[in-house]
């Protein structure tokens, strides 16, 4: 709920709720700032305060004693009905205010969760896994062509042969020298740091 | 469709739970099986599975296996190299791997370790395997008399023999530098003991798919020749599309009087910025009679990228004959003088002379200095 429209004065209902302390925190603050700088609204709030004071004084003066209440049933009934009417009207206003707040809370919670998920994904899931999932989704939805046959691929960490969705990767250190060893094979050559032996890992498509 | 959703849901839940890594089962027989023939001159003495893990990776399960096999040379000859075949037959019937250890000097009765670091990724819906997921077996073992043993299904025998000949060449060359006290030249040869002085790396992708992803154009293949090469590349052409190379064709001429069984073609790729990369060496079974000319052509698609995976556009291609196998089984490899004379580019020269043994000796020099290298060369020669 917006208590004020930009460039406009608050509604009388908003000013009445403000005076009664029934506005949400943010709307109350905005209205307070506006009322302080607006003589017209100050005047209206002042008149409301006066009326409220008069009503309070009158109500105090007219409060029935137990004996009077028993004696004047019709007056008591009118007073009770009036109180109920005021209560229902106030409840409607407050109910409306609560809806807005609830919606805002839920939206903030959902946005927060999404942001937390994105941040967690970016910081915890390696890029290659994201690409794997993206490719899997693309293939599943039929947007990416299925790679047919056997594919050999080198990466800084290994040489791999991939076929039918399965991959065999022979790992190597980043210092390895990678080269093509045949039209259907590639190899990585390095000196094994533990054994001191030259080791050549190869993959083949057959 | 419903299963897809369930699978994707499972993946999503697993990933949102932080993609934890689980220790793989301690029962190594479930993951790896090492099998050697009973009459093998190299036998597995022990086999250990280091801490291995399984984890969710995209829509698949990734299993990291780290194993070490201790082998014994049970023959009567020193072992100079061997290749282990690595297969995941049930999951990857069309793909294989291997771990080759050249430049060995394992005396009869001695043991030596071979490390296996591999990762197997399989989809959630892949059928369960009956036996071990990965099978390791002997493909070929080569001894110092250049005899060999093994089924050689990966045709690794020829490669091991070439590496052994290159190792002997490089050891002789470095021993001569040491003998003549040409220490500056030796330091330059071995990258001054610095680990990171090496040519820039290329990344590769090889498929059988011949469809070009962009506009294809034909480029001529330049040739480079080692002076003493018995077979020389005369010329050729290839289809190029951005970073893709298709169906290269090279015309080869046998300049010798001996019939040739197969030729290994070396490829140098020049990118658009003029940088040269030695892409590798591709063997071609190519019977060539003396003084005969024939065309070698390869099928498939080869894609080039830099170390970060960004495509490297092909500017030019160069081919050369890197080694030759004659019909009598003898092999020709370029000599050090051949390499010196083939190119004036020091980076390219270094790449051409970088054999596995050269790499190993550079590592010995980096760790132990001139004295360690001298001892190593004395032991090996």
Tens-digit pLDDT profile for chain B (381 aa)?
445 444 544 444 444 444 455 555 555 567 788 889 889 999 999 888 877 787 877 777 888 889 999 999 999 999 999 999 999 888 888 889 999 999 999 999 999 999 999 998 888 776 666 778 889 999 999 999 999 999 999 999 999 999 999 999 999 999 999 999 998 888 888 876 565 555 567 888 888 776 666 678 899 999 988 999 999 999 999 999 888 998 889 999 999 999 999 999 999 898 888 888 888 888 888 899 999 999 988 888 889 988 777 888 899 999 999 999 999 999 999 999 999 898 888 777 887 888 999 999 999 998 898 899 999 898 776
Q: Does B195 touch chain A if contact means CB atoms closer than 8 Å?
A: yes
The count of structural domains within chain A is: 2
Contact indicator for B303, B244 with CB cutoff of 8 Å:
yes
Nearest to B229 by CA among B355, B145, B323: B323
In chain A, what residues touch B95 (CB-CB under 8 Å)?
150, 152, 161-163, 168, 203-206
DSSP B50-77: ---EEEEETTEEEEEEEEEEEEEE-SSS
Structural domain containing residue A183: 128-204
Co-location of B191 and B206 in the same domain: no
Query: What pLDDT was estimated at residue A2?
Result: 47
Domain limit, last residue, from A45, A69, A103: A103
Condensed to tens digits (0 to 9), the pLDDT of residues A70-115 reads: 566 777 788 788 888 888 877 777 666 667 778 889 999 999 999 9
Asked if B286 and B314 sit in the same domain, the reply is: yes
**Does residue A115 form part of some domain?**
no
The answer to whether position A18 is within a domain reads: yes
How many Å apart are CA B297 and CA B63, to the nearest integer? 38
H or E element, residue B320? strand B314-326
Contact B118 A202 (CB under 8 A): no
Render pLDDT for A181-199 as a digit per residue (tens, 0 to 9).
887 899 999 999 888 899 9
Q: Which residues of B touch A198 (CB under 8 A)?
A: 101-103, 356-357, 359-360
Tokens (6 digits) for A63: 């409060």
- DSSP state letter for B28: G
CB distance A203–B96 less than 8 Å? yes
Predicted local distance difference test score (pLDDT) of residue A102: 82
Whether B90 and B185 share a structural domain: no
Residue A135 pLDDT more than 70? no
Question: How far apart (Å, rounded) are the C-alpha atoms in residues B85 and B138?
Answer: 6
Strands A151-155 and B202-207: antiparallel
Question: What number of CA atoms fall less than 13 Å from residue B183's CA on the CB side?
Answer: 7
Q: What is the mean pLDDT of chain A?
A: 81
Question: Per DSSP, what are the bridge partners of residue B296?
Answer: B250
Contacts of B38 (CB under 8 A, 6+ apart): none
Q: Are residues B18 and B62 in the same domain?
A: yes
Assess whether A23 and A90 both reside in one domain. yes
Closest chain B residue to the Cα of A134, Cα to Cα: B58
Closest C-alpha among A36, A43, A60, A44 to residue A11: A44
Q: What is the DSSP letter of A174?
A: T
Closest CA to B97 of A156, A176, A158, A169: A169
Interface residue of A158, A167, A188, A192 to substitute, partner B, most B CBs within 10 Å: A167
A113 is a domain residue? no
A153 and A198 assigned to the same domain: yes
Helices (H), B265-355: 336-342, 346-352
Q: What is the pLDDT of residue B331?
A: 96
| CA distances (Å), origin A53, targets A44, A46, A47, A59, A81 | 14, 10, 10, 10, 22
Per the structure, the count of domains in chain B is: 3
**Are residues B263 and B172 part of one domain?**
no
**Residue A83, class by beta-carbon neighbours within 10 Å (0-12 exposed, 13-18 middle, 19+ buried)?**
exposed
Decide: B44 and B68 in contact? Cβ < 8 Å: no
Is A1 inside any structural domain? no
A 23-42 near B (Cβ less than 8 A)? none
Size of chain B in residues: 381
Closest listed residue to residue B265, CA positions, set B318, B216, B213, B304: B318
Look at residue A72 and tell me if it is in a domain: yes
pLDDT of residue A3: 47
> Which residue of B95, B99, B265 is the best one to mutate when testing the A interface, meaning the one whose CB has the most A CBs within 10 A?
B95
Residue pair B126/B91 in contact by the 8 Å Cβ criterion: yes
Q: Looking at residue A202, what is its pLDDT?
A: 95
Q: What is the pLDDT of residue B352?
A: 84
- Scored b (16 or more CB within 10 A) or e, A127-149 reads eebeebbeebeeeeeeeeeeeee
Closest CA in chain B for residue A148:
B209
ipTM: 0.88
Whether A75 and A151 map to the same domain: the answer is no
CB pair distance less than 8 Å for B280 and A181? yes
Q: Is A140 on the interface with B (CB under 8 A)?
A: yes
Residue B310 belongs to domain with CATH number: 2.60.40
Query: CB of B74 within 8 A of CB of B41?
Result: yes
Residue B58 sits in the same domain as residue B6? yes
| Residue B320: per-residue pLDDT | 92
What is the DSSP code (8-state) at residue B311? B
Same domain for A88 and A31? yes
Residues B57 and B180 in one domain: no
**pLDDT the model gives residue A54:** 84
CA distance B7 to B72: 46
Together in a domain, A26 and A62: yes
Q: Which domain holds residue B306?
A: 202-348
Helical ranges in chain B per DSSP H: 2-16, 156-179, 183-189, 336-342, 346-352, 356-380
Residues 6+ apart with CB under 8 A from B201: A177, A178, B277, B306, B307
* One domain for residues A94 and A165: no
B338 closest CA partner among B320, B326, B325: B320
Do residue A30 and residue A78 come from a single domain?
yes
Tally of residues, chain A: 206
> Which pTM was predicted?
0.71
Query: At residue A183, what are phi and psi to the nearest 5 degrees?
Result: -70, -10
Residues A86 and A33 in one domain: yes
């Amino acid at each position: 709920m917006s208590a004020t429209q930009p460039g406009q004065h608050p509604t009388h209902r908003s000013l009445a709720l403000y005076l009664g302390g029934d506005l949400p925190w943010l709307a109350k603050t905005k209205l307070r700032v506006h009322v302080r700088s607006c003589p017209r609204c100050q005047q209206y709030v002042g008149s409301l305060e006066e009326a409220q004071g008069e009503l309070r004084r009158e109500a105090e003066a007219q409060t029935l004693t137990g004996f009077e209440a028993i004696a004047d049933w019709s007056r008591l009934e009118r007073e009770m009905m009036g109180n109920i009417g005021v209560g229902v009207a106030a409840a409607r206003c407050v109910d409306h205010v609560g809806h807005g707040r609830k919606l805002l809370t839920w939206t903030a919670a959902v946005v927060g969760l999404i942001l937390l998920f994105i941040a967690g994904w970016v910081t915890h899931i390696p890029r290659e896994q994201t690409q794997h999932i993206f490719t899997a989704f693309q293939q599943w939805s039929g947007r990416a062509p299925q790679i047919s046959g056997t594919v050999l691929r080198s990466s800084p960490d290994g040489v791999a042969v991939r076929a039918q969705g399965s991959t065999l990767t022979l790992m190597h250190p980043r210092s390895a020298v990678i080269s093509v060893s045949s039209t259907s094979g590639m190899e990585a050559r390095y000196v094994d740091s533990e054994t001191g032996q030259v080791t050549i890992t190869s993959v083949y498509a057959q | 469709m419903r299963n897809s959703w369930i699978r994707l849901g499972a993946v999503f839940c697993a990933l949102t739970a932080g993609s934890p890594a689980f220790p793989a089962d301690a029962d190594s027989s479930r993951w790896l099986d090492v099998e050697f023939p009973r009459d093998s001159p190299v036998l597995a003495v022990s086999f250990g599975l280091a801490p291995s893990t399984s984890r969710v990776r995209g829509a698949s399960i990734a299993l990291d296996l780290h194993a070490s096999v201790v082998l014994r040379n049970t023959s009567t000859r020193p072992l100079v190299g061997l290749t282990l075949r690595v297969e995941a037959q049930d999951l990857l019937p069309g793909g294989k791997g291997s771990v080759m250890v050249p430049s060995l000097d394992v005396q009869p009765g001695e043991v030596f370790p071979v490390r296996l670091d591999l990762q197997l990724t399989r989809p959630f819906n892949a059928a369960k395997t009956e036996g071990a997921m990965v099978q390791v077996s002997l493909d070929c073992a080569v001894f110092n008399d250049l005899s060999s043993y093994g089924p050689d299904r990966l045709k690794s025998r020829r490669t091991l023999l070439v590496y052994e000949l290159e190792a002997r060449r490089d050891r002789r060359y470095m021993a001569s530098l040491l003998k003549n006290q040409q220490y500056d030249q030796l330091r330059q040869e071995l990258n001054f003991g610095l680990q990171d002085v090496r040519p820039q790396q290329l990344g590769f992708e090889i498929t059988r798919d011949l469809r070009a992803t962009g506009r294809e154009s034909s480029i001529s293949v330049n040739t480079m020749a080692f002076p003493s090469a018995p077979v020389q590349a005369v010329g050729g052409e290839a289809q190029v599309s951005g970073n893709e190379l298709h169906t290269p064709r090279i015309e080869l001429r046998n300049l010798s009087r001996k019939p040739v069984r197969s030729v290994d073609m070396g490829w140098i790729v020049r990118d658009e910025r003029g940088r040269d990369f030695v892409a590798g060496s591709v063997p071609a079974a190519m019977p060539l009679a003396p003084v005969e000319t024939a065309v070698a052509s390869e099928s498939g698609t080869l894609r080039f990228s830099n170390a970060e995976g960004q495509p490297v556009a092909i500017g030019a291609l160069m081919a050369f004959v890197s080694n030759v196998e004659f019909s009598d089984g003898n092999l020709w490899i370029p000599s050090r003088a051949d390499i010196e004379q083939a190119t004036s580019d020091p980076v390219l020269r270094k790449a051409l002379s970088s054999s596995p043994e050269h790499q190993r000796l550079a590592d010995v020099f980096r760790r132990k200095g001139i004295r360690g290298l001298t001892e190593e060369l004395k032991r090996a020669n």
